[in-house]
Amino acid sequence: MRRFPWDILLALLAGFGLGLVYSWIISPLRVTNADPVALRADFKDTYRAAIAASYAATGNLPSAQARLSLLKDANSVEALNAQAQRMMANGDSLQQADQIAALALALDGNSDNIPTSIPATEIASNIEVDSTLTIPPPPPDAPIVLTETQAPAETQLIPVASTPRPTRTAIPTLGAPFTLSGQEDLCDTNLPDGLLQIIVLNSNRRQMPGIKIVITWDGGEEGFFTGLKPELGDGYADYLMTPNITYTIQLANGSDVATGISAPTCQTPDGGTFLGGIKLTFQRP
């Protein structure tokens, strides 16, 4: 009977272990100059936040779109909206969430109207060629015609504006402003008292997440976003109103202003009263 080759098996296991130690500890694989698509999910979020901050400072939407394309997301707008909602739910920087939501709205509203940019090197070469062009001399036998030369007009200097330093900017108004298309009092005992419900729709009546809503009252102001309760709709947001306080509501991106909003007093079938709610609908024309 042949003896089992334990020595060979032990040699293979030792070689396998040494290979793991070398590849994991002594000389692990180091990835350099990788494309953004190869980043971890948390690093991709940081990359999107940096792009949104650059767009907030420069307003260069084609550049932001080109950088986002390197992530190869299935839908850049949905990825930005989802990140903004995660940041607000986790209590992260509200400024970064605003910037990311603004970039998502800009891409959603202007994805079909972005002009093709011309490389700067091509522009520079064209200017250089044009500046060196000269008028060819006339032929020797051409007659000389004396004409009166008009005095040159006064040269108008066009001031060149300096590039401003990056500052926090408000969410830009993109496209047509939103209109207040619906306002309805809600007397439902199943709803919380004083519940203000807001629905934001685009021109195709699809709900829009990541839209900032500004609510003000005498001595106070607060902002909140649509899409934080996706089970109730991507464009849904709500707020609990205090009794006997009148509110003013509008969208930060530009909209009609809903004034004189206060929780209505409703009656129950047995003659009692309770605090009702209001439903507002904003839609882009």
Over the stretch 219-252, which tens digit does the pLDDT of each residue have? Answer: 899 999 998 888 888 899 999 999 999 999 999 8
- In the sheet with 258-261, reading across from the earlier edge strand, the strands are 220-225, 212-217, 247-251, 258-261
Closest CA to 77 of 93, 92, 61: 61
Which residue, chain included where needed, has tokens 């969430």? 97
Higher pLDDT, 150 or 51: 51
Greater confidence (86 vs 154) lies with 86
179-283: which CATH topology? Answer: Immunoglobulin-like (2.60.40)
pLDDT at 154: 47
pLDDT digits (tens, 9 = 90+) for 121-142: 333 344 343 434 444 555 555 4
* pLDDT of 163 over the 70 cut: no
Q: Where in the chain is the domain with CATH 2.60.40.10?
A: 179-283
Report the predicted TM-score, pTM, of the whole model to 2 decimal places: 0.44
Q: Which residue has the higher pLDDT, 116 or 192?
A: 192
Nearest-angstrom CA–CA distance, 79 and 67: 14
pLDDT one-digit tens code per residue, 60-78? 888 888 888 888 888 988 8
| Alpha-carbon distances of 184 from 174, 260, 271, rounded to whole Å | 27, 13, 22
Q: What is the rounded distance in angstroms from the CA atom of residue 99 to the CA atom of residue 50?
A: 10
Other beta carbons within 10 angstroms of residue 239's beta carbon come to 17
Average pLDDT over residues 170-178: 55
